[in-house]
Structure 1
Amino acid sequence: MAYLLKISTLISRFCQFIGGISLIIIVLTTMLDVVARYVFKLTGGDFGFTVKGSVEIVSFFMLFALLAAFAAFVERSQIIVDIFTQKMSRVMKGYMMGVFMLGFFVIGAFFTWGLIESAFDAIEFGKVTQDLRISMMPIYLISAFLSVLLAIRSLIESINIFKTGEFFDAEETGA
């Protein structure tokens, strides 16, 4: 079990890194685009540099950031409403959390399957992005990879909950 938890922790840290890099790219792209537009406005159109495809860059990296964050923090993803859970035993809450983690495993597996099919379709039909005209295949494959990491982490966390009964409880931590 310790080996599985170590794998889960490594996947979580990797996904946190990917999410952080994605957010940095989003912020830098947005800042560069805003500065370039401001300089364009100040020079009366003499300086015409803009970030081509900035909306696409931001939207695709937002997808990567969200998928990575979901995979990194899946065990903390449940919103607990005190009115429904305050009288439940810790064992019952653990069982529910384990079932939710299995649900996230299924969701991650379906995401992966659909995204891999979309990647093959992008290759077969030559699907490209609207502004940058780059193939959609790597975008789908990166998203599928992050989705499979979500599925793996969810399964490991579910096994851990059912085996040990330990889970992240926001009520206890005050989070």
Structure 2
Amino acid sequence: MAYLVKISTLISRLCQFIGGISLIIIVLTTMLDVVARYVFKLTGGDFGFTVKGSVEIVSFFMLFALLAAFAAFVERSQIIVDVFTQKMPKAIKGYMMGVFMMGFFVIGVFFTWGLIESAFDAIEFGKVTQDLRISMMPIYLISAFLSVLLAIRSLIESINIFKTGEFFDAEETGA
């Protein structure tokens, strides 16, 4: 069990890194685009540098950041409504959380399956992004990779909850 927990922690840290890098790219792209537009305005159009495809860059990296965050913090992703759970025994809450984690495992598998199919379609039909004209295949594959990490972490966390009965409880931590 300790081995699975280490794998889950490693995947979580990898996803946190990927999400952090994605957010940095989003911020830098947005800042560069704003500065370039401001310089264009100040020079009356003499300086025409723009960030091509900035909207696409931001939107795709936002996708990566969200998928990475979901995989990194899946065990904390449940919204607990105190009215329904405050009187429940911890064992029942743990069982419910384990079932939710299995649900996230299934969602991760379906995401992966759909994204891999989309990647093959992108290759077969030559799907490209609208502005940058790059293939959609790597975007789909990166998203599928992050979805696989979500599925793996969800499965590990579910097994851990069912085996040990321990889970992240926002009510206890005050989070």
Q: What is the TM-score of this pair, normalised by structure 1?
A: 1.00
1:49 and 1:99 map into 2 onto residues whose CA distance is: 52
SS in 2 for 1:141: helix
CA shift, 1:134, in A, is 0.1
Q: Distance in 2 between matches of 1:141 and 1:169?
A: 33
What is the CA distance between 1:173 and its match in structure 2?
Answer: 0.1
The Cα shift of 1:155 comes to 0.1
Q: Whole-Å Cα distance in 2 between the matches of residues 148 and 89 of structure 1?
A: 32
Aligned-pair distance for 1:141? 0.1
Q: What does the per-residue CA deviation read over 1:113-141, in whole Å, with 9 as the maximum and x for residues that have no partner?
A: 00000000000000000000000000000
* Number of aligned positions between the proteins: 175
Aligned partners of 1:86 and 1:173: how far apart in 2?
A: 14
Shift of 1:149: 0.2
1:55 and 1:144 map into 2 onto residues whose CA distance is 22
1:129 match: secondary structure: coil
Shift of 1:27: 0.1
Per-residue deviation at 1:160? 0.1
Q: Distance in 1 between matches of 2:166 and 2:87?
A: 18
For residues 23-64 of structure 1, give each alpha carbon's deviation from its aligned partner in whole angstroms, at most 9, with x where no partner exists: 000000000000000000000000000000000000000000
Map 1:116-155; keep pairs closer than 5 Å.
116-155=116-155
Residue 146 of structure 1 deviates from its aligned partner by 0.1
RMSD over aligned CA atoms reads: 0.2
SS at match of 2:57: helix
* Equivalent position SS for 1:59: helix
Question: Mapping of 1:1-175 within 5 angstroms?
Answer: 1-175=1-175
> Per-residue CA shift, 1:89-127, capped at 9, x if unaligned?
000000000000000000000000000000000000000
Report the CA distance between 1:164 and its aligned residue: 0.1
Aligned counterparts of 1:173 and 1:101: Cα–Cα separation in 2: 19
Residues in 2 aligned to 1:84 and 1:16: alpha-carbon distance in whole angstroms: 31
- Cα distance between partner residues in 1 of 2:91 and 2:99: 12
Report how far residue 87 of structure 1 moved: 0.6
CA distance in 2, matches of 1:27, 1:97: 35
What TM-score results when the alignment is normalised by the length of structure 2?
1.00
1:53-98 deviation line (CA, Å, top 9, x unaligned): 0000000000000000000000000010100100100000000000
Sequence identity (%): 95
- Provide the C-alpha distance between the structure 2 equivalents of 1:110 and 1:170, rounded to a whole number of angstroms: 28
